[in-house]
Amino acid sequence: MNTRNISLLILSLILSVQLYGQTQEIRLFSHRGGRMEHDENTLQAFQASYDAGYYGFETDIRMTRDGELVVTHDSSLDRTTNGSGTVESHTRAEIEQLRTKQGNKVLFLDELLDFLQDKSGLYVEFEMKTNPAELYPEERIAAYCDKLYKMVMAKRPADADYIFTSSDYRALRYMQSHYPDAELLLITGEPCNDQTIALCKTVGIKRLGATMNGTSRASVQAAHEAGLIVSLWPGQSIEDFMLGAYLGCDYMCTDIPIQLKDWISEHAPWIKVIY
């Protein structure tokens, strides 16, 4: 960790808080259950983050060949499991025989929803992984979104904020047209800027998930003035968190939830963070 950079960011944040009246509040959530600390997107990862005091999570959902929804980021099974090929070419029964590289069970959406169902104060992002496009043609997008929405909402705790996110506007568009009550977030690999703000306004989505690289405090303020909620990524380090806080984001993911929570408690307790 670069102590000088951390100190400069802390100083900037202190000055910002003094100037802007200490009104900022950040919702911090565990990205894939904390992928740099735990076996990503497994029940063990989500349990560890929850045990550490997190009620905010992000996860990724794909569809098997027989239409089951599985919690995994990649289409390929090779990086995270002892299997090979794509999630989309396997059945649930086949994937249930696999284990992650760390020996854990591959998690399915129904199992994750059962884990979350009795918990209060949740914020959960369900990222709709409907790429590559050739594996998710329009008719499969429809089946995927229908099943995802109905499963998630059937087991959503009354006070939970469940958000459907994607970088694939096809899935977001389907949700908009068929489930207008769904809370949506548009993910982009671009910064929060005039173009991404305009895109959100054009497609009628009020949550923007943008990269910190190239984002400015002024652009986040402009997004807020346009009525948008800003979530920033990545969250791979303490420096990332401090930068996101300085930029003024509303939400931020973290790959190091336990390390970061401990650090904030010890070094930056004045930052108002909801976990």
Bridge partners for 144 per DSSP: none
Distances (CA, A) of 9 to 15, 128, 151, 248: 10, 33, 42, 13
- Helix ranges (H only) for 83-235 are 92-96, 109-116, 138-154, 169-178, 194-203, 217-225
Cα dihedral 67→148→131→139 (10° resolution):
60
**Angle at 189 (CA atoms; ends 186, 193), nearest 5 degrees:** 80
Length of the chain in terms of residues written:
275
Q: Within 13 Å and on the Cβ side, how many CA atoms surround 267?
A: 17
Angle CA 173–110–233, to nearest 5: 55
CB 275 within 8 A of CB 49: no
User: Which residues are identified as catalytic?
Assistant: 31, 73
Q: For residue 145, what are the CA distances in angstroms to 93, 110, 138, 151?
A: 22, 15, 11, 10
Residues 6 or more apart whose Cβ sits within 8 Å of residue 20: none
Element holding 17 (H helix, E strand):
helix 3-20
Pairwise CA distance, residues 87 & 107, whole Å: 12
